[in-house]
Amino acid sequence: MEDVYIAGRNPILEALKANRKIRKIYIAKGNMKGSIRKIIGIASEKNIIIQEVDHGKLNSMSEGNVHQGVVALVSSFEYSTIEDIVNRAKGRNESPLIIILDEIEDPQNMGAIIRSAECAGAHGVIIPKRRSAKVNQTVYKSSAGAVEHIMVSEVVNISDTIEKLKKIGFWIYGADADGENYYFDTDLKGSTALVIGNEGKGISRPVKERCDALIKIPLLGKTSSLNASASAAILIYDVVRQNHDKSKS
């Protein structure tokens, strides 16, 4: 697979921390202040080539993302398997938490969800190979580099994947405005997978039919829905809360 560019100070710092293979770092001429100096220091220790270029070159490489004066050429993102994700949870002696993204097409939404998932200690994210955003430069940027610290698995069929997860003890909960129960009235403890649907269409019918339960978030204002990443953050952190309360009892 081809190397890719990532833009922005936090994403590049996280890539350096995660030992991602970085081919080269491009820095705006004369921009040696703040966290740029930290990037240069770490890169120098790792013998990574650093090149000063003009802003026009950085703008071209960053594909419209805010680059903050720095862009890196890195090896392509390596997707994990579902087994890798489950084994990560076992290795931490934790109940596994997986986020399933059913046709999330906006890479900014995907990046924001990945950031929430990683911050909450989720063990992995599952995306479909078709009709979905991929882990690209925009995902790196919108996740603030969190994508370097969480496993992402690409699968052929989300419905089949859900069935496999059920067989190994997972409960599957879909976020849906027409859900039977509010999320805070639902037991989300144990091996849990949360399904977040497409920004416009929500969860697809075949996937919805395979969920153990559909849960909803109360909408008390005049707006009819939440952004997919906002919904995901709310649900992810309630799983964390419920499991934390369980561990204290």
Q: Which two tokens stand for residue 29?
A: 């001429």
**Are 203 and 102 within 8 A, CB to CB?**
yes
Can you give the pLDDT at residue 200?
87
Which amino acid is present at 194?
L
pLDDT of residue 247: 60
Mean per-residue pLDDT, 221-246: 90
Per-residue confidence at 249, pLDDT binned at 50, 70, 90? low
Q: What percent of the chain has pLDDT over 90?
A: 73
- Name the H helices within the chain: 9-17, 35-45, 55-62, 82-91, 107-119, 137-142, 158-167, 205-210, 228-248
| Res. 20 pLDDT band, cuts 50 70 90 | confident
Query: Do residues 184 and 54 make contact, with C-beta atoms less than 8 angstroms apart?
Result: no
Q: Which domains does the chain have, with CATH numbers?
A: 4-74 (3.30.1330.30), 82-248 (3.40.1280.10)
What pLDDT is stored for residue 196 in this prediction? 97
The token pair at 148 is: 């370097």
Q: Are 16 and 42 in contact (CB under 8 A)?
A: yes
Q: 0.85 cut: is pTM over it?
A: yes
Question: How far is 235 from 81, CA to CA, in rounded Å?
Answer: 23
d(CA 32, CA 131): 41
Position 73 confidence tier, pLDDT thresholds 50, 70, 90:
very high
User: What does the pLDDT read at residue 47?
Assistant: 94
140 or 194, greater pLDDT: 194
Give me the pLDDT at residue 31, please.
Answer: 67
Each residue's pLDDT tens digit, 121-138: 999 999 999 989 999 989
Q: How far is residue 102's CA from residue 198's CA, in Å, rounded to a whole number?
A: 6
pLDDT digits (tens, 9 = 90+) for 27-36: 998 767 788 8
Which pLDDT band, with edges at 50, 70 and 90, does 1 fall under? low
